[in-house]
A and B are shown apart, each in its own frame.
With several copies, the nearest count.
Chain A
Amino acid sequence: MTAVANSTLLAPQEQAEAGLWRRMLHYLFLQREVEERLERRLYRQGKILGGVYVGRGQEAICVGSGLAAEPDDFLYPCHRDLGLYFVRGIHPRQVFAQYMGRVGGLTRGRDGNMHMGDLGHRIVAIISAMAASIPVAAGTAMALKFQRSRNIVFNYFGDGATSRGDWHEGINLASVQKTPLVLICNNNQYAYSTPLDKQMACAHVVDRAPGYGIPSEIVDGNDCVAVHEAALRAAGHARMGLGPYMIECKTFRMTGHSAHDGADYVPKHLWNEWAEKDPVIRMERRLLDRCYASRGDIDELYAGIRAEVDEAIAWAEASPYPDPSTLEQGVYEESR
């Protein structure tokens, strides 16, 4: 957003808020646009050969909380948290190249889709096994505590991941050790095709938090500002040395489980209901309502992002596939 109509008229605090909200919209839309291209264009054009999992409708969760993290906090995204990468400064080029298996991708073609990370940016790549990151994140948080660091760890997971043993073991260890760990659940009400009532017999994921003696809250996962505020509370708690904190973001996956899934198992009315809560549109409305941005500003923002994305796709397509002779490199330090 290059210019904002009335920014000079705002009080300092409002200016800060306006700036934050604009950044929110920026990342919300960036994630939306990148994923739109991935799922609905590049995948359908056969340019992405593996799975494509997107966070459509859930972008407020990673964007809102990601903007609450400090630059040296560790992030453990799950497979619908693309926005986190952008917040951390990963370029869309690298993401498109990643999905297309090119050397320009974060994993240089070794892995696909959201299985990407960058220790330099303190973003840790997931493995496929749901919830496997949680014990790992607990370990990072434990280390930061031992190191007397002010940094903390943000860990993301879906409702479905909460059924896994690793989820339990990781959170339990983290809570016993009082580690600085912010646990962020995107409860999008489905795990692949499986609805909540086949996954858990409690009403909310946070009903499990007392079992670990940790505080928790439920937040509207489609409201980026609400998520952000909750994340700040959680981060403050963790940073003060009070241990883990769990946030459950109620949301909905506005697409199939992955690009090949038509999601016929979702009752039709839910799509409409949740479309009305679209986090991008809600963020637009907030900005417009408070005159933090005009329609023109927003259109300009979007146009800029679209251009950036076009360029990023072209860049990624120009990035070569890995040289097959590199296949056996990098399994061990010695095999570089």
Chain B
Amino acid sequence: MQATYLEAIRQGLQEEMERDPSVFLLGEDIGVYGGAFKVTAGLLDRFGPERVVDTPISESAIVGAAIGASYAGMRPVAEIQFADFITCGFDQIVNFAAKCRYRWGAPAPLVVRAPSGGGIHGGPFHSQNPEAWFVHTPGLKVVQPATAYDAKGLLKAAIRDNDPVIFFEHKALYRKVKGEIPAGDYTVPLGKAKVFREGRDISVITYGAMVHVADEAADILAKDGISLEIVDLRTLLPIDEETILASVKKTSKAIVLHEATLTGGIGGEISARITEKAFEWLDGPVVRLAAPDTPVPYSPTLEEAFLPNAMKLVEKARALARY
């Protein structure tokens, strides 16, 4: 069955709620309204107000309550209306949820869903990609699917996982990306990257919406005889070093691509790991392509200049190929 990225997520939520009565949702406007992006549309009718909880505008309480409910045996899935507002619940995520298992053996099996990313003219506060903060927080898992199939499979795996998972959904993909979804239950394991497209010359390590950008660039570059291999990380923490290194050892060249701003983004982490562990295989520097170090601008001309795209990647890849 074909489903959009958004429908895949909704299916994932619904099936997990059917499968396990301890799964419930909480967040702003997720019930009656069905969520700002309508991801949870219909779930209130199906499961009632105790399993689809409309909350006040209280991100810290949303995350905190999810932690507390998990201590009572629930499996909460919290929605942050836009990933940009995750900063309002930051302490609960990075200090409470992330550290409780390590400190006193109290797992907090919860999922925080957050629509992230730009390309919808949302401006500085409806477009951010804040994943790197969480990747730097031991105790969390961080996920960002690129396809409908993965969106559903990873979400189900995240809900069943016994650690807190921050699940970024790229909002520009919600309705743009469609894919075949198997009829039955399936999960996509956390912590495993996927070779999205095989290639010979350059590995592009990326995730989320940028997987499709890389794919577009790969089509263009194929005509030049440059063959990109695209590694879709899927899970950003823990990082699947094995798949990354296997690809880079094969191609000997790597570009790390992300939509988040460059400095301190997870591109640095991946580049560093590649250099540390595959230095002798490298036929050129590991190159990064990311958004520049600015807030996400609103105006279409600026946003276009801000976001990485296929042509920017093509340029980087051509230069690297010549190296």
A and B touch in the complex (CB under 8 A): yes
Q: Does A202 have its Cβ within 8 Å of any Cβ on chain B?
A: no
Partner of A166, one of B55, B64, B100: B64
Known A50-B123, A160-B57, A198-B54; judge A135-B68 contact (CB<8 A).
yes
Q: Does A194 have its Cβ within 8 Å of any Cβ on chain B?
A: yes
B214 to chain A, nearest CB (A): 22
Known A132-B95, A134-B64, A135-B92; judge A173-B56 contact (CB<8 A).
yes
Say yes or no: B121 contacts A49, CB within 8 Å: yes
Q: Does B284 have its Cβ within 8 Å of any Cβ on chain A?
A: no
Say yes or no: A139 contacts B33, CB within 8 Å: no
Say yes or no: A112 contacts B91, CB within 8 Å: no
Binary flags per residue of B1-31, CB closer than 8 Å to A gives 1, else 0 = 0000000000000000000000010001100
Q: Does B249 have its Cβ within 8 Å of any Cβ on chain A?
A: no
> How many of chain B's residues touch chain A, expressed as a range?
35 or more
Of residues 123 to 177 in A, which have CB atoms within 8 Å of B's CB atoms? 124-125, 127-132, 134-147, 149, 160-161, 163-166, 169-170, 172-173, 176-177
How many angstroms between the C-alpha atoms of A323 and B74 in the bound complex?
Answer: 33
How many angstroms between the C-alpha atoms of A154 and B187 in the bound complex?
Answer: 38
How many angstroms between the C-alpha atoms of A132 and B121 in the bound complex?
Answer: 22
Say yes or no: B64 contacts A331, CB within 8 Å: no
How many angstroms between the C-alpha atoms of A5 and B133 in the bound complex?
Answer: 64
Say yes or no: B32 contacts A193, CB within 8 Å: yes
Stretch at the interface among B150-158, B293-301, B309-317: B293-301
Closest chain A residue, CB of each to CB of B292: A328
Partner of B64, one of A106, A115, A130, A135: A135
Say yes or no: A106 contacts B104, CB within 8 Å: yes
How many angstroms between the C-alpha atoms of A325 and B304 in the bound complex?
Answer: 11
Q: Does B179 have its Cβ within 8 Å of any Cβ on chain A?
A: no
- Interface of chain A, main secondary structure: loop
Q: Does B63 have its Cβ within 8 Å of any Cβ on chain A?
A: yes
Write out the residue numbers on chain A whose beta carbons fall within 8 Å of the beta carbon of B162: 333
Say yes or no: A107 contacts B104, CB within 8 Å: yes
How many angstroms between the C-alpha atoms of A171 and B297 in the bound complex?
Answer: 31
How many angstroms between the C-alpha atoms of A328 and B141 in the bound complex?
Answer: 16
Say yes or no: B107 contacts A333, CB within 8 Å: yes
Write out the residue numbers on chain B whose beta carbons fall within 8 Å of the beta carbon of A93: none
Partner of B72, one of A116, A143, A332: A143
Say yes or no: B57 contacts A321, CB within 8 Å: no
Say yes or no: B102 contacts A110, CB within 8 Å: yes
How many angstroms between the C-alpha atoms of A102 and B304 in the bound complex?
Answer: 14
Closest chain A residue, CB of each to CB of B100: A125
Write out the residue numbers on chain B whose beta carbons fall within 8 Å of the beta carbon of A9: none
Write out the residue numbers on chain A whose beta carbons fall within 8 Å of the beta carbon of B53: 142, 177
Known A101-B299, A128-B85, A135-B65; judge A50-B121 contact (CB<8 A).
yes
Say yes or no: B71 contacts A321, CB within 8 Å: no
How many angstroms between the C-alpha atoms of A177 and B82 in the bound complex?
Answer: 23
Write out the residue numbers on chain A whose beta carbons fall within 8 Å of the beta carbon of B33: 192-194, 265
Of residues 311 to 336 in A, which have CB atoms within 8 Å of B's CB atoms? 321-328, 330-333
Say yes or no: A140 contacts B71, CB within 8 Å: yes
Partner of A173, one of B58, B107, B123: B58
How many angstroms between the C-alpha atoms of A215 and B13 in the bound complex?
Answer: 37
Closest chain A residue, CB of each to CB of B55: A173
Say yes or no: A170 contacts B61, CB within 8 Å: yes
Partner of B68, one of A111, A143, A164: A143
Write out the residue numbers on chain A whose beta carbons fall within 8 Å of the beta carbon of B67: 135-136, 139
Most B-side CB within 10 Å, residue of A101, A142, A192: A142
Q: Does A74 have its Cβ within 8 Å of any Cβ on chain B?
A: yes
Closest chain A residue, CB of each to CB of B97: A136
Binary flags per residue of B277-304, CB closer than 8 Å to A gives 1, else 0 = 0000000000000001111011111101
How many angstroms between the C-alpha atoms of A115 and B84 in the bound complex?
Answer: 15
How many angstroms between the C-alpha atoms of A142 and B50 in the bound complex?
Answer: 9
Binary flags per residue of A178-219, CB closer than 8 Å to B gives 1, else 0 = 000000000000011110001110000000000000000000
Q: Does B221 have its Cβ within 8 Å of any Cβ on chain A?
A: no
How many angstroms between the C-alpha atoms of A145 and B292 in the bound complex?
Answer: 40
How many angstroms between the C-alpha atoms of A191 and B57 in the bound complex?
Answer: 8
Known A115-B125, A330-B101; judge A136-B65 contact (CB<8 A).
yes
Known A119-B71, A192-B28; judge A127-B56 contact (CB<8 A).
no
Q: A112-B299, A143-B69 are in contact. List 11 more A-B contacts (CB 8 A).
A: A49-B300, A127-B124, A128-B82, A129-B84, A129-B95, A132-B91, A160-B57, A170-B61, A200-B56, A327-B302, A327-B306
The 9 A-B pairs at the shortest CB distance, nearest first, are namely A135-B64, A139-B68, A139-B65, A109-B299, A128-B125, A101-B299, A163-B56, A193-B33, A143-B72
